Structure 1
Amino acid sequence: MHKIVYLTLILFTYQFSFCQNTTNPLLTKDALAQKKWVDSVYNNLSLSEKIGQLFMVRAMTTANTRDVNNIKTLIQDNHIGGIIYSKGGPVKLAKLNNMYQGMSKVPMLIGMDAEWGLGMRLDSTYAFPWNMTLGAIKNKQLIEQTGKHIGEHCKRLGIHFNFGPDVDINTNPKNPIIGNRSFGENREDVTAHAIAFMKGLQSAGVMATGKHFPGHGDTETDSHHALPTINFSEKRIDSIELYPYKQLIKNGLESVMVAHLNVPALESKPDFPSSLSEAIITNLLKEKMGFEGLIFTDALEMKGVANFSNPGDIDLAAFLAGNDILLISEDVPKAIEKITEAYQSEIITESRLAYSVKKILMSKYKVGLNHYKPVNTTHVIEDLNRLKDDILNEELFENAITVVKNENNVLPIRDLNQKTIAYIKLGDDSGSAFLNELKKYTKVHEVQSDSYGFIKTKLDNYNTVIIGLHRSNANPWKSYEFTPDEIRLIESIAETHTVILDVFVKPYAVLDLPTLNNIESVVVSYQNSEVAQEKSAQIIFGALEAKGQLPVSVGNGLHAGDGIATTAISRLGYTIPERVGIDSKKLNKIDALAQRAVDEHMTPGVQLLVARKGKVVYSKNFGSHTYDKDSEPVKDNDIFDIASITKIVATLPLVMEIVEQDNEISIDTKLSELIPDYIGSNKANITLKQMLSHYARLKPWIPFYVATLDSTKMPSHAFYSNAPSELFNIKVFNNLYLKRDYPETMQQIIKDTDLLPTLKYRYSDLPYYILKKFIETYYDRTLDHLVQKHFYESLGMNLTTYNPYLKFPMKDIVPTENDNYYRHDVVQGYVHDMGAAMQNGVGGHAGVFSNVNDIAKIMQMYLQKGFYGDKRYLKPETIDMFNTTYYSNKGNRRGLGFDKPQLGTSGPTCGCVSMKSFGHSGFTGTYTWADPDEELVYVFMANRTYPSAEINMLLRENIRTDIQELIYEAIIN
């Protein structure tokens, strides 16, 4: 009798709430229209149709004909009120959904477990980071955005309920079923994250479901397999487990899912599931906590409740306890039969039935099922994998990754020239994305061994070891622990090396480590996705800051909320174009131009890179090393002969350094003052400024090699030998050695040669022959050694070098020409330029080999006014001095060493760059340009000289500058 009176009061409250109670989360803005629709539908339902509304059944999108027919029967004969979709694909789901909805008298509520996105259940859909990862993020707006994006995905597929967020407070590291699904262990943080997620989800028009009530966070039992016990006092449960629900309810939570838990403090019946408990659902959730939204059971097939009674009896008990929707019943017809019998026996009153069914109908109205429309089945995959999802996913990991130890400020890694770095992969999953990203910053060698016991012996040549624990990212329940062998290995390496340990698993893995005393840095990256690996590597090298905080305590004195903020140190990062104001669709138009260059045999291969605002947003390769069908395709780490770009990445930075540091030398210093040998020559009064501006009446070039050929146009024995000796020690090519004194002869020829008759702009290689001699004399070191030590090593330009045949395998070096006039062979690994070849491969004007990523680093250093990777290479005023056009009034566009935009209608750029911009091109087809106004770096590598250098179609067709123009057209803001 008491129950009947109570249910009558509830029904009165329900009727009254349509017009009066604005706290009911199921109410819409037009409550009267909602009530009218709900009452109309309800009054037109038969008893069996009303009872059918209580059931939400599982449907697989991978279903066979029998399973589909079973769902059809449940819709037609049992009038089910909803479907929860599980495994399969989105397109099939959309089509099935339309079919099933078309069969239902009342449109059905569609639900899904999409805690971290549709990817939790469906292939070809988006998976955002797990809750534990999100729990590390301080910025709650990002959490709200995540909820909104997931809601938009759900809505696109006609899904009205997301059974999330999981608001369990995971205070037990051994919890087998929650763990990564929890936002953490701190009730305030969990609650704040859950509210943000809920608001985002509901703002997209999809209902949120707080679960697993009253709290599944502190258990070591999986309720899918048995009934877990939450053995705490009522006071503890009220202050911890129930805390998030209280706050979520205040903030408009629309539904709750009740777990299958044994909670003795809340339910006196022994071993009685909370999902069947009137004390927990009606007395606590509805009455005491005032929740008026929908209440779901957890799946009634789960062993935590299914072991309790027989099919049908469980459903009846769940409904009598106060649940509204019975989820995944083991036997719907049997359950309907049991509930019908209870109704006819007045165990269930009409008011009790109406209370739940009308709440269900209210929800249907709220999600728009009063005006049901089928799901559009076109472009489903594209709509569920949007660019803005990728952007958000990047931002989430950037904000989540947590540095929990950073002794002596090891992170970010600085002073690359002093670091020898090894990487060791632990775990059973791939760490290739992490390693590849690390290698973008400096030389990192992976050390491998079949036995962990032998790895340590391979580390003698390294002072820094990065260790990554990589385990499966397939789902949040996968194994995450270190093995005993892995722990021993870490401890052993940490005794003798600086160690950076990065765990790409849930943070509880750190609990396995007996001590962190000898480990300098520990990074928690939470998941082993490619994005997590890439962003973690960027944090390690200072392209990104570390911002995350631990969501849980992990021993070794590390508690929830801990996290060490690291700083970014002005190194290039890698991201999505839109994040730096570039339209990726427009940017990708350059693919066609690059491919055209390859297809039309303008060049066999191309590397392309675009960076803006310190972020590389485009890096692609096209073609192969040669036109041969079995030729090696161009790869990221392939290196090209950059030809005259050598001028601005080798000679010029050293000249700037000298001018900056030596008070006796300026840009107005005369050549006779730089090199006393020039006293009395016709070049004595040429200034450094004039030489670097190509405004010194110097000849464009001198074909030095021609004078060393015999009458048959072959290298003369008077100048060359096929074997090295004391007399012939300048290696020009394989089995070709030039007399050791010939480079000095070349210098004498330059000194003695006539000047051009007219002073005007005339591009010349000769200043760089002269400056090479000056630099090497000034430092008493060779140019290749100097530029490596002063710039390349610390910049992390580890693929940039002279004479790459000495350092790299030939398969990684792109050939430049099939030379039929000097070396009579394919030139690969040796400099293409003949004059540079005659200087042992080290020219001031040519000779450097590199790839787009390395060139982008030095161009970015210039763009940042001489600063990169927390190191000051050159002063801003020095950069400005050399990036100035001094003779523009004479029709000369050149800066000091740097090429500059055209003066007039023709020149080296698209004509769309700022006048502050600078760069250079190379004879082999290379090109690089930087624009301070747009914070833009563009690098183009090619070997257009292969197989022959005679016809420059790449230049004739304006491929490089047309690509440059497309880059500028892609800039949004």
Structure 2
Amino acid sequence: MKKIGQFTLTAGLAAVLVSSSLPVMAEAGSSADRISHKIDTMTLEQKIGQMIMPDFRQWNGSNHTSLAPEVANIIDRYDLGGVILFAENVSETEQTTKLVHDLQEVVKQDASNDIPLFVTIDQEGGIVTRLGTGTNLPGNMALGATRSSTYANDAGHIIGSELRALGINVNFGPVLDVNSNPGNPVIGVRSFSSDPELVGTLGSALMKGIQSEGVAATAKHFPGHGDTATDSHYGLPVVDRSLQELEQVELVPFKRAIAEDIDMIMTGHIGMPQIEPEVVTSTNGTFPLPATLSDDVITGVLREKLGYDGIVITDALNMQAIADNFTESEAVLKTFDAGVDIALMPTILRSEQDVTKLDQIFKDVIAAVKDGRLSEERIDQSVERILTLKAERGIWNGTTDTTSLAEKIAQSNQIVGSPEHKAKERAMTEAAVTLVKNDQRTLPFKPKKNANVLVIAPAADQTDSMKKTIASLPKNRNWHVTTANYSATTLPLDQNPTLRAQLDAADYIIVGSNVNTSAKLLPTAPEQAIPASIFRYAKQTDTPSVLLSLRNPYDVAVQPDAPAHVLVYGFKGDPNGPDSEAGNLKSAGPNLPAGIRAIFGTFKPQGTLPVDVPVFQNGVFTDQLHLEFGDGFKNWKK
């Protein structure tokens, strides 16, 4: 590691950061020659730096939205190859553009290192959307409901162009997990479908859209996180399948992505006991070695069986599936030995006091190389892949970007959240809305003048979004909208006179349901019990009502008394306006407004189910289907 002076953002240096940079001469020869020459001239520490990617989402107790001098020092000292940004880093378009600009300026001011950073982000669209401003998009399962490769490709173009305008050059998406387990607590609507071919088709279209904009795309979470019942943020999921079984489902989308030149693949922290026989014993017990650390999975299956020679990056190594069972250095060394190229978030850095942990990781990797446990040749393979992609994507091309910060901000303001992007977002979101039940043609609602509408959902931002959307409808005839929210503390209806009075006053009832785990489908869970009691009461009083499913669509299986079921595959509300369209710069979920517009007949739902919905009985999903992949009714009252 370099021993350097403090990197201080003085007035003079700040002026340098916002000015154009002088161009430098490109190295002679081909890209391959330039890469080979660069590797030959790099120190071991510099090579390792290219393989480490931390986050700085917070610094000294505050969201890290402008480059802290201490963070600049860390990037400079360790010659880091990349950083990952989170929502805490990217609140506004101009702010994000400046932060990314300043991050790259650290490298430009470093006389010993000319390799720009991978600046990365999880901008999947839908419920995993990091940018504070811009185009949210409806998410992958919504795209699955449209069955449209055109919409998926449009989504990729929107994501790629907005990230590129901000200076972000790598996106950790698309998600290629096949959501074959309805009890999956972490993937759900982040997946396109339970059908591997549809996941492959739409994932490919999204990937091509992103990469066509010059941004690297990343397929995740290899070898597949869809058939899991544990969230790897909090524990180690296990997929007990043979390679032949994986090839029929989980690996299908990844094979296609590899054939169509995906730039990166992200691993999943998943035990695969039929692929990797090694077990690990920690204070938490004995369990299969996670795929991220497995040479049988990374080298044996991904590299050799599937023929992938691009960059492999881990999912965050500070997730509990890894962090609870390995030291930080152990995890990094095992990933590198398995054939991984970049260790993502190997330690938590929130202040200068945490830098000792990063320093220890570097020391331990260097020691492993020096004593022969990890070869420098293995390190060089990863650095070659990293430099190759940086060269191919124009990140490291032998010249320095001379675009001024002012020019970058002007471009990002023009592109991020543009009216064209918002219009496409609305079109694909409306195309996704799925009607799977409409008894007695309950929908669309056609309230009379001064009618009372009750909207109820778990979160206030959700009911705010629904209320404001209703107010914006051209058909609105001075309807009175009342909102209510429910949670684990909400009293049952027979003990809740306030809610009962609201139901009695309502002419129409809309209930939003946000379910992402099997536990929330149990009769004792408020997420199931409160809506169920409302629908039973509405049935007794003959009040038109509708279930608006805001997340995983399996909640429709446990609400038989709702006469209508509408699915929108996204739960983000918008307290700032009736929609995420022109005039509202903040990134906001378009799904709820689309669902409301459909309920009141602005358009006819055309989406079809992208997953099977099994019967849920006695706390488990059965083999019997409540609804099938492809269902979607059109019995629409005129």
Distance 1:339 1:405, change over 3 A: same
Residue in structure 2 matched with residue 540 of structure 1 by the alignment? 599
Name which of 208, 220, 223 aligns with 1:211. Answer: 220
Other structure's SS at 1:59 match: coil
Tell me if structure 1 keeps the 8 A contact 2:535–2:545. Answer: no
Task: Name the CA distance, whole Å, in 2 between partners of 1:83 and 1:372.
Answer: 19
Residue in structure 2 matched with residue 315 of structure 1 by the alignment? 332
Residue in structure 2 matched with residue 202 of structure 1 by the alignment? 211
Residue in structure 2 matched with residue 74 of structure 1 by the alignment? 74
Show CA shifts across 1:901-934 (max 9, x none): xxxxxxxxxxxxxxxxxxxxxxxxxxxxxxxxxx
Task: Name the CA distance, whole Å, in 2 between partners of 1:190 and 1:554.
Answer: 17
| Aligned-pair CA distance for 1:543 | 3.1
Show CA shifts across 1:504-525 (max 9, x none): 5114352462525xx4322112
Matched, 1:515 2:560: yes
Other structure's SS at 1:120 match: coil
Other structure's SS at 1:111 match: strand
| Aligned-pair CA distance for 1:196 | 1.2
Residue in structure 1 matched with residue 42 of structure 2 by the alignment? 45
Residue in structure 2 matched with residue 340 of structure 1 by the alignment? 366
Tell me if structure 2 keeps the 8 A contact 1:57–1:83. Answer: yes
**Could you tell me which amino acid in structure 2 is paired with residue 402 of structure 1?**
T
Other structure's SS at 2:544 match: strand
Name which of 140, 165, 170 aligns with 1:131. Answer: 140
Other structure's SS at 1:135 match: helix
Matched, 1:281 2:298: yes
| Aligned-pair CA distance for 1:401 | 0.7
Distance 1:551 1:115, change over 3 A: same
Show CA shifts across 1:785-841 (max 9, x none): xxxxxxxxxxxxxxxxxxxxxxxxxxxxxxxxxxxxxxxxxxxxxxxxxxxxxxxxx
**Could you tell me which amino acid in structure 1 is paired with residue 97 of structure 2?**
A
| Aligned-pair CA distance for 1:405 | 1.3
Task: Name the CA distance, whole Å, in 2 between partners of 1:485 and 1:309.
Answer: 42
Task: Name the CA distance, whole Å, in 1 between partners of 2:342 and 2:303.
Answer: 15
Matched, 1:563 2:632: yes
Show CA shifts across 1:874-921 (max 9, x none): xxxxxxxxxxxxxxxxxxxxxxxxxxxxxxxxxxxxxxxxxxxxxxxx
| Aligned-pair CA distance for 1:398 | 0.9
Distance 1:408 1:352, change over 3 A: same
TM-score for both structures, normalised by structure 1: 0.51
Gaps of 5+ in 1: 1-31, 570-869, 871-973
Distance 1:33 1:117, change over 3 A: farther
Name which of 378, 400, 404 aligns with 2:409. Answer: 378
Matched, 1:387 2:419: yes
Name which of 533, 538, 545 aligns with 1:493. Answer: 538
Task: Name the CA distance, whole Å, in 1 between partners of 2:119 and 2:65.
Answer: 21
Tell me if structure 1 keeps the 8 A contact 2:189–2:552. Answer: no
Name which of 464, 475, 490 aligns with 1:440. Answer: 475
Distance 1:521 1:358, change over 3 A: same
Residue in structure 2 matched with residue 552 of structure 1 by the alignment? 611
Tell me if structure 1 keeps the 8 A contact 2:332–2:346. Answer: yes
Task: Name the CA distance, whole Å, in 1 between partners of 2:334 and 2:158.
Answer: 37
Other structure's SS at 2:527 match: coil
Count the aligned residue pairs. 532
| Aligned-pair CA distance for 1:301 | 1.6
Say which structure, 1 or 2, has more relative contact order (CA 8 Å, 6+ apart). Answer: 2
Matched, 1:96 2:99: yes
Name which of 432, 440, 444 aligns with 1:400. Answer: 432
Matched, 1:356 2:382: yes
Distance 1:421 1:524, change over 3 A: farther
Show CA shifts across 1:441-481 (max 9, x none): 5565546799845667787898x734231669xx9999897
Other structure's SS at 2:538 match: helix
**Could you tell me which amino acid in structure 2 is paired with residue 73 of structure 1?**
N
| Aligned-pair CA distance for 1:145 | 0.6
Other structure's SS at 1:482 match: helix
Tell me if structure 1 keeps the 8 A contact 2:467–2:483. Answer: no
Tell me if structure 1 keeps the 8 A contact 2:177–2:191. Answer: yes
**Could you tell me which amino acid in structure 2 is paired with residue 435 of structure 1?**
I
Other structure's SS at 1:217 match: coil
Distance 1:502 1:64, change over 3 A: closer
**Could you tell me which amino acid in structure 2 is paired with residue 425 of structure 1?**
V
Task: Name the CA distance, whole Å, in 1 between partners of 2:53 and 2:256.
Answer: 27
| Aligned-pair CA distance for 1:289 | 0.7
Gaps of 5+ in 2: 1-28, 108-112, 280-286, 348-356, 485-490, 574-578, 580-589, 616-625
Residue in structure 1 matched with residue 54 of structure 2 by the alignment? 57
**Could you tell me which amino acid in structure 2 is paired with residue 99 of structure 1?**
D
Task: Name the CA distance, whole Å, in 1 between partners of 2:131 and 2:503.
Answer: 44
Tell me if structure 2 keeps the 8 A contact 1:201–1:208. Answer: yes
Distance 1:456 1:119, change over 3 A: closer
Distance 1:65 1:164, change over 3 A: closer
Other structure's SS at 2:176 match: coil
Matched, 1:152 2:161: yes
Distance 1:267 1:239, change over 3 A: same
| Aligned-pair CA distance for 1:231 | 2.7
**Could you tell me which amino acid in structure 1 is paired with residue 68 of structure 2?**
V
Tell me if structure 1 keeps the 8 A contact 2:54–2:345. Answer: yes
Task: Name the CA distance, whole Å, in 2 between partners of 1:366 and 1:560.
Answer: 40
Distance 1:173 1:438, change over 3 A: farther
Residue in structure 2 matched with residue 665 of structure 1 by the alignment? none
Distance 1:117 1:91, change over 3 A: farther
Distance 1:248 1:341, change over 3 A: same
Distance 1:498 1:372, change over 3 A: farther
Show CA shifts across 1:674-699 (max 9, x none): xxxxxxxxxxxxxxxxxxxxxxxxxx
Tell me if structure 1 keeps the 8 A contact 2:434–2:632. Answer: yes
| Aligned-pair CA distance for 1:76 | 2.4
Task: Name the CA distance, whole Å, in 2 between partners of 1:461 and 1:357.
Answer: 66
Tell me if structure 1 keeps the 8 A contact 2:127–2:570. Answer: no
| Aligned-pair CA distance for 1:282 | 0.2
Tell me if structure 2 keeps the 8 A contact 1:144–1:199. Answer: yes
Task: Name the CA distance, whole Å, in 1 between partners of 2:474 and 2:65.
Answer: 51
**Could you tell me which amino acid in structure 2 is paired with residue 337 of structure 1?**
K
Tell me if structure 2 keeps the 8 A contact 1:55–1:329. Answer: yes
Other structure's SS at 2:360 match: helix
| Aligned-pair CA distance for 1:79 | 1.4
Distance 1:563 1:65, change over 3 A: closer
